[in-house]
Amino acid sequence: MARWRTSAAAAAVVLVATACGHASESASQPTGTSRPQLTPTGQLPLTVKGTGFRPQEKVRVAAKGTQSTSTAVIADPSGTFVVRLHGLKSCDSVTVVATGSSGSHAEFNLSQIVCTGSSKARGPA
């Protein structure tokens, strides 16, 4: 039963974050390329995937909420990267922002709406 709740909670996190997500296209983004996007892919630790960034672009990824963390990564030749943001609690409400050195930008808000009062008290199942 606990495994089902964990899987359901992880799926709900992705759905809520995707529904609340926001990606903005920078004026410096070349025409004809996909716009930068940032998507949560895992919960413990919070893992995010960036796509549509410039190839080999240095990207600063920051999560701000109850706890804050940031890291830098280099996008691969296709403009994609994956980062793990340690130090965040699974029920934190955070805004994750990715800003590239060439002007690419994407962000999303991960709401704690998927956490119930009982799961906050117990922690991860």
Sheet holding 105-110, edge to edge: 22-24, 105-110, 94-100, 58-65, 69-74
Taken in order of first residue, the domains within the chain and their CATH numbers are 2-115 (2.60.40)
Q: What is the pLDDT of residue 105?
A: 97
Q: What is the mean pLDDT of residues 98-122?
A: 75
Q: What does the pLDDT read at residue 77?
A: 97
| 23-75 residue pLDDT tens | 444 444 444 458 999 999 988 888 999 999 999 999 999 998 877 888 999 99
| CA distance linking residue 64 with residue 107, whole number of Å | 11
Residue 39, CA atoms < 13 Å, CB-side half-sphere: 15
Percentage of the chain surpassing pLDDT 90?
Answer: 42
